[in-house]
Structure 1
Amino acid sequence: MTRSLLQRALPKTLLARNIVLLIVLLMLSQICVLGVLLHYVQRPRVERAATVFATYVTTLDNLLQATPPGARADLTARLDARAQLPAEAAGAPPPGLMHAYRTYQRNVFLESLRAHLPADMPVRWQSEGGQRMWIRMHAPADAPRTPYWIALPIPEDAQGAGLDAAILLSLGLGALAALTGYVIQRHLNQPLQELTRAARRVSAGETPAPLPTDGPAEIATVSSAFNQMTHALQQAEATRALMLAGISHDIRTPLTKLRLAMAMAMPDGSDSSFVVAAESYLDQIETILQQFMDYAGSGEREAAAPGDLNALIERLAGDFAGLGHEFELSLANLPAVAYRPISMMRLLMNLMQNAIVYGGTGLAVRSWTTNEAVYVAVGDRGKGLSAEELEQLKAPFQRGRNARAHSGGTGLGLAIVERIARLHGGSLQFHAREGGGLEVWVVLPLISDPATHPARRGTPRPL
């Protein structure tokens, strides 16, 4: 319970945590230094001042008692002696955090002074109207019923003014140390931020530049390990693509020979149902091989360039219309989007093909844009999988329950689409379609300079 509370109380970033730790350590060190200074330096100094002041008061009290009555009246008048304690000296100053140090000094001084004065000589510290010390002197022998109060200036050592500059300087040095620690930590965080950006690029399917390894030893070690990991991933990706390309080539060659052998082995006029079935199976094998190749490639080596995404959508919709599948189009004017033409065509073809195979009716494609991204939605009116179930099919080799009636698939279709979207810095989303059915949204970020392709913003409308 205590640990969870501490975790919630701590800042989330390493920079903030280090600054908090530095400030706490500085505060503890300043408190320790201040405690040592007060107890071992300032307190003895104030106690010595109280001892000297008590000696002075005792001497003055003895002098007043030994002075003749006539001269004593002139002396007490010059000392502004009073029969009653003034009202401004009767109350103690209010306690406060800002005056804690002065209060401590005053209490130490009064405690030490009372220890050196007789018990029948009370002492009062006046704070209002000026700092003064009121002490009640003994009554003279010729007038035992008339004691009087005398105001004396307070020694500077007891007022606590000498240490204010030291405390302010200490606080200033603490603030300077905290600021310096903040600057140093910001400098140390820059390699970590570069590492974060590079890791996100790797997650998006890109190949980041090698990280610099000339910083602090610990961060340089992490950067070097990350560079090695990135290089190993690139080698693994190249090896996988080469292996799949070799497998595809080696398998397609005997398949072609098998097709030719089957055509030559069947005599004229014989039943060709076996040949038709065999060729159907061979076509399925070809499709599976192509899907593996598509997933292995996904367009990493293809260069991206700004282009008209609506033109690509219209061309694909025309191709599907030629096969008897009509897509209703609702395309807004889009700004320039940097995409890989072949990969983007593969992405849209897969989504439109899935809508035909698993949706069947209400086929539609719409596009729109916001200030941050371009959206392309492919929808249908089918009653197939829900958006939640489709999210699970982004993983490779996952097939939904509605795929049992469709042979020839490998469970790579949505994995290929999702990978191509991430390669473009975008994402794939599934949404229930207004009026029934499902929409698959492709979200692509805008290029940094949309002025190269000026266009009006479009607003999506329900289909």
Structure 2
Amino acid sequence: MRAPRRWSPLLAALLRWSALGLGSWALCLLALQLLFGRQVEALQTVQLGRNLALNVRLTELSLERYPPHLVSELTGLQLAVVNKPSSQPPPPPALAQQANALQQELCRRLAHCPMVVANGSSWDVWVELISPLEPIWLRVSLRSPMAWPPEPTLLVLSLLGAGISCGALFLLLEVERPLRGLEKALVRVGDGDEPEAVAARGAPEVRRITHHFNAMVERLAANRRDRATMLAGIAHDLRAPITRLQFRLSMPTLSTQERDRCSGDLQSLERITGQFLLFAGGGDGEVAVEVPLDQLLAELSTSHAPEQLELQLDSVQACIKPVALSRAVANLIDNAFSYGSAPVVVRLFERANQAVIEVWDQGDGMPADQWERALQPFQRLDESRGQQGHCGLGLAIVAHVARIHGGDLSCGFSDHDAPGRFVIRLCLPLNLCKPGV
């Protein structure tokens, strides 16, 4: 039962394209007949007039010696002995026009101008011959403009036109349009979205590419879910020993030094767990809303002393994912305190239709060739920081948040007007939220 199911779409497509090809051929033939039918008919009349003029000369010479019925038997020509053939019923206009054109061609080629009478009952004409004894007429069949089969030239041109038009339609409908939909899905994947499976349409090659693309998207989604599940599971498993350590710290038997050491370890575990949860969540499913960025950044700075964290905020409104952006800026501020030196300065301003968030510190920063490595997950430029709750996810989270907002992340060093020595700059587009998003 599998073979009919597999071949039935191909058979239906073959029948559909065959019908389209026949229709295109008929339309092309009709168009060529309308456009070039008169020219082809004129060429046929010239050729017929040349051949007929020769037959008329030879027949007239033969009639001087032999009777009409013998000449007709010997030559195969249709001769009639009548005063004048009847022209009833009246001939069609196209036949009358052909008869006139044929008469003009004969007059041009012969020494005399014979009479040509159109036969209204059939598509032929009578040509008057010069005979010494009696009036004789030669019957000549003409070709109707709508006769079948068509002229070979028009037939070949119509087949070429139908092939070209069907090929163009095939490329448009079966190749170009499905590939355009696949391109849009690829753009969404590149932007970090999870597009739905693309319908397999078009040519077999395009269908195979679409199936491979859908399989790739499914694998990426599965890897993303597995990563989130793994990180969330790790964070969940760390919660239990953290809770037990906190309970033991509350016991009065520990010395002050041991209690301080255990508290530091707990803070490191809390930090690592929080980073895992942030990286697992990512903010992909959060809804973007219109937010005053200056107020959001001011709320983030409330946990730091004013002499340690300085704010230079302009009033800027933007459509963002507030939870994800808050996590990203908090990571930048935390990294500035951990890797740099206070005071840390957070600046917000608008530039070139972008909201620019800068986090300055007084440290030495990082080498420019290490920046790309610092953006990768679980990468620590200072390995000693791993013992202080740093797991290498801070800048990776910020880079991911910048990417899902359509922005970019960069670093730099101070100039003469800078409030610090090293800066990490987060630029976000000032998009307005669409209704219903």
- Report how far residue 175 of structure 1 moved: 11
Inter-partner Cα distance in structure 1 for 2:387 and 2:366: 14
Inter-partner Cα distance in structure 2 for 1:449 and 1:262: 48
Kindly indicate whether residue 375 of structure 2 is the aligned counterpart of residue 391 of structure 1. no
Verify the 8 A CA contact 1:335 1:450 in the aligned structure 2. Answer: no
TM-score normalized by structure 1? 0.52
Q: 2:310 aligns to what?
A: 327
Kindly indicate whether residue 299 of structure 2 is the aligned counterpart of residue 315 of structure 1. yes
Kindly indicate whether residue 255 of structure 2 is the aligned counterpart of residue 274 of structure 1. no
Kindly indicate whether residue 391 of structure 2 is the aligned counterpart of residue 410 of structure 1. yes
Question: Residues 280-319 of structure 1: matches in 2 within 5 Å?
Answer: 280-319=264-303
Inter-partner Cα distance in structure 2 for 1:370 and 1:175: 53
Kindly indicate whether residue 361 of structure 2 is the aligned counterpart of residue 380 of structure 1. yes
Verify the 8 A CA contact 2:238 2:269 in the aligned structure 1. Answer: no
- Report how far residue 316 of structure 1 moved: 1.8
* CA deviation profile, 1:184-232 (whole Å, cap 9, x unmatched): 5455233333323322322332211321212222212222222222223
- Report how far residue 364 of structure 1 moved: 3.2
Aligned sequence identity (%): 30
Amino acid at match of 2:350: W
Q: What is the SS of the residue equivalent to 2:270?
A: helix
Q: Between Structure 1 and Structure 2, how many residues are aligned?
A: 279
CA 384–440 in structure 1, closer or farther in 2 if over 3 Å, else same: closer
Inter-partner Cα distance in structure 1 for 2:166 and 2:234: 60
Q: What is the SS of the residue equivalent to 2:358?
A: strand
Verify the 8 A CA contact 1:336 1:450 in the aligned structure 2. Answer: no
Q: What is the SS of the residue equivalent to 2:194?
A: coil
Verify the 8 A CA contact 2:337 2:344 in the aligned structure 1. Answer: no
Q: 1:432 aligns to what?
A: 413
CA 353–279 in structure 1, closer or farther in 2 if over 3 Å, else same: closer
Partner residue of 1:246 out of 233, 246, 249:
233
Q: What is the SS of the residue equivalent to 1:447?
A: coil
* CA deviation profile, 1:394-423 (whole Å, cap 9, x unmatched): 011111249659822111110111111112
Inter-partner Cα distance in structure 2 for 1:173 and 1:417: 61
- Report how far residue 353 of structure 1 moved: 1.9
Q: What is the SS of the residue equivalent to 2:411?
A: strand
Partner residue of 1:447 out of 406, 428, 431:
431
Partner residue of 1:368 out of 340, 343, 350:
350
Name the Cα RMSD after superposition.
Answer: 3.5
Q: Which runs of 5+ in 1 are unaligned?
A: 1-169, 453-463
- Report how far residue 448 of structure 1 moved: 5.8
Q: 1:227 aligns to what?
A: 214
Q: 1:257 aligns to what?
A: 244
Amino acid at match of 2:288: A
Q: 1:200 aligns to what?
A: 187
Inter-partner Cα distance in structure 1 for 2:238 and 2:162: 71
TM-score normalized by structure 2? 0.55
Verify the 8 A CA contact 1:366 1:377 in the aligned structure 2. Answer: yes
Q: 1:108 aligns to what?
A: none
Q: 1:423 aligns to what?
A: 404
Inter-partner Cα distance in structure 2 for 1:186 and 1:377: 48
CA 232–315 in structure 1, closer or farther in 2 if over 3 Å, else same: same
Amino acid at match of 1:382: G
Inter-partner Cα distance in structure 2 for 1:407 and 1:318: 23
Q: What is the SS of the residue equivalent to 2:309?
A: coil
* CA deviation profile, 1:330-351 (whole Å, cap 9, x unmatched): 42x43432x2211110011111
Amino acid at match of 2:363: G
CA 363–282 in structure 1, closer or farther in 2 if over 3 Å, else same: same
* CA deviation profile, 1:147-195 (whole Å, cap 9, x unmatched): xxxxxxxxxxxxxxxxxxxxxxx99999998898667545523333332
Q: Which runs of 5+ in 2 are unaligned?
A: 1-155
Inter-partner Cα distance in structure 2 for 1:377 and 1:301: 26
Q: What is the SS of the residue equivalent to 1:431?
A: strand
Q: 2:224 aligns to what?
A: 237
Amino acid at match of 2:414: R
- Report how far residue 326 of structure 1 moved: 2.4
* CA deviation profile, 1:247-282 (whole Å, cap 9, x unmatched): 322331133123323533x43xx6331122122212
Kindly indicate whether residue 316 of structure 2 is the aligned counterpart of residue 357 of structure 1. no
Q: What is the SS of the residue equivalent to 2:409?
A: strand
Question: Residues 4-403 of structure 1: matches in 2 within 5 Å?
Answer: 185=171, 187=173, 188-264=175-251, 266-267=252-253, 271-321=255-305, 324-331=307-314, 333-337=315-319, 339-360=320-341, 361=343, 363-371=345-353, 373-401=354-382
Verify the 8 A CA contact 1:327 1:363 in the aligned structure 2. Answer: yes
Inter-partner Cα distance in structure 2 for 1:229 and 1:405: 35
Inter-partner Cα distance in structure 1 for 2:347 and 2:305: 13
Amino acid at match of 2:398: V
Amino acid at match of 2:213: F
CA 451–314 in structure 1, closer or farther in 2 if over 3 Å, else same: farther
